[in-house]
Structure 1
Amino acid sequence: MDLSPVHPGPAADKILVIQDDHRSAYVWEGHLLDQTLRARRPDDLWNFLRERDFHARVVHPLRATGFLRIYEIGRMKLDSSLITTLIERWRPKTHTFYLPTGEATIMLQDIQVLYGLRVDGLAVALPQYMIAMTRSHYLDLLGQYTGFRPQGEAALRGGSRISVTTIREYMEVLHPDITGETEDIHIDWYTRLALFFLFGGVLFPNTSENLVSLRFLHHLQQLDELPQYTWGATVLAYLYRSMCQGEHGHPGGHMWFSAASTGLGLAADLAVAATSTTTRVGCRTSVSPSSYEVGSLAWELPRK
């Protein structure tokens, strides 16, 4: 029996009022057919952990904060073709993937079950006082909470961001000194650096591929309060924002999704992608007129 060909695009576009600015429109017109999104992400954290393990005294507070599972999962292999396909099927109005068999999306339950992140609790928000802070203030705050204060304000980029590589190099120096006899305050400092490393290198990296916002220090002041925040919901909000802005050629926020969440029956591969965060957590965005970065993925528009 002959099967009729599957229609690759929308059967009717009357209700798709933003379709002209959607990435799939370029595909429909014959552009970007052989161009997949390429992953752009910093791997400093995974390179650091590949060569060494956290001491048990650091593992305990990391487990208490609720982030240890992310370290245990480790660096995930990205399926660029799958990511590209899903982005082309994403609809900002409904926050769902439009598939031939119906709609599918990523929910809070996916984030909670797969990664153990809390999906209820206190909102992750930037306090107003940090907006007016200067470079010197950020360096002082970094020194107070982590014992690490790079020399000179040149260590910061854009006033409130620091290189992930700089953090890694400092942790490499500290690592051999973390023992069973290390003072508690130094364990706390090291733990905050490890979490700061996680935020900037995995959870909320930006398009620079190597910078992390010092505004995250606000949430690292009290380690015992970290589990009270809804980090899972924040990750999902980043995903939605990233996908929505990505479809319109603007950089988005953090993008996490699992193939298991799409209803495609695929394995639970984690696709990690990120760009700048919103002002609620304090990273920046940047837009190039001819190319855009979606999560840690980048694609170029055809020249007209």
Structure 2
Amino acid sequence: MNAAALTALVDRWRPETHTFHLRAGEMTPTLQDVSMILGLPIQGEPLCMNTASDGWRGQMEDLIGMAPPTPEDPKEINPAGASFSWIRTHFRECPEGANEDTIRTYTRVYLWYMLSRTLFADSGGKLAHWCCLALTVLEHPWSWEQRHLPTSTGR
């Protein structure tokens, strides 16, 4: 990795407009750029899911076999996800001689952890949101293309 080039790009990034300001003009990364860099397809079935947090623990248990415990105090903030420390405690290392399902679970959690720490980080930097787990279902060829759903015009 070229640290000087990376630093130069960071210095020229404008978060207000989501563009790089270069000598030749402005440059905006496109969906195709992201697809090439990350190796993610942009054609196929779109990833659409309900992001309401109702039932997130059950969905998390379906995907990785467990979920963080419910807080004992009902007034305590209950984020829809797992703290990074909880993930590290329960999935630090895949057991030696694990079967294929266990390896798949640990792989899914690792990808969830990495996506949540890098691409989809929360503002506090402590939580892996449960919705990112759906991105780790590798058996399904999700498309990363942004599709606009028809909206009702009220006519």
Look up the match of 1:162: 82
Residue pairs, 1:1-304, within 5 angstroms:
79=6, 82-87=9-14, 92=17, 96-127=19-50, 130-131=51-52, 133=54, 137-153=55-71, 158-172=78-92, 174-175=93-94, 177-179=95-97, 182-220=98-136, 222-225=137-140, 227-230=141-144, 233=145
- Indicate conservation of the 8 Å contact 2:71/2:78, yes or no: no
Find the aligned partners of 1:207 and 1:200 in 2 and give their Cα distance: 11
Structure 1 residue runs without a partner (length 5+): 1-72, 235-304
Find the aligned partners of 1:152 and 1:110 in 2 and give their Cα distance: 41
Q: 1:102 to 1:218 in 2, by over 3 A?
A: closer
Q: CA deviation at 1:158?
A: 4.1
Count of residue correspondences: 142
Find the aligned partners of 1:142 and 1:157 in 2 and give their Cα distance: 18
Deviations 1:222-260 (A, max 9, x none): 4310x3322xx56xxxxxxxxxxxxxxxxxxxxxxxxxx
| 2:138 maps to amino acid | L
Structure label with greater radius of gyration: 1
- Indicate conservation of the 8 Å contact 1:141/1:217, yes or no: no
TM-score for both structures, normalised by structure 2: 0.69
| 1:122 maps to amino acid | E
- Indicate conservation of the 8 Å contact 2:9/2:20, yes or no: no
- Indicate conservation of the 8 Å contact 1:200/1:213, yes or no: yes
- Indicate conservation of the 8 Å contact 1:97/1:104, yes or no: yes
Structure with higher helix content: 1
Q: 1:97 to 1:217 in 2, by over 3 A?
A: closer
- Indicate conservation of the 8 Å contact 1:171/1:190, yes or no: yes
Q: 1:109 to 1:132 in 2, by over 3 A?
A: closer
> Secondary structure of the equivalent of 1:125?
coil
- Indicate conservation of the 8 Å contact 2:91/2:106, yes or no: yes
RMSD between aligned residues: 3.3
Q: CA deviation at 1:116?
A: 1.4
Deviations 1:28-74 (A, max 9, x none): xxxxxxxxxxxxxxxxxxxxxxxxxxxxxxxxxxxxxxxxxxxxx9x
> Secondary structure of the equivalent of 2:128?
strand
Q: 1:132 to 1:81 in 2, by over 3 A?
A: same
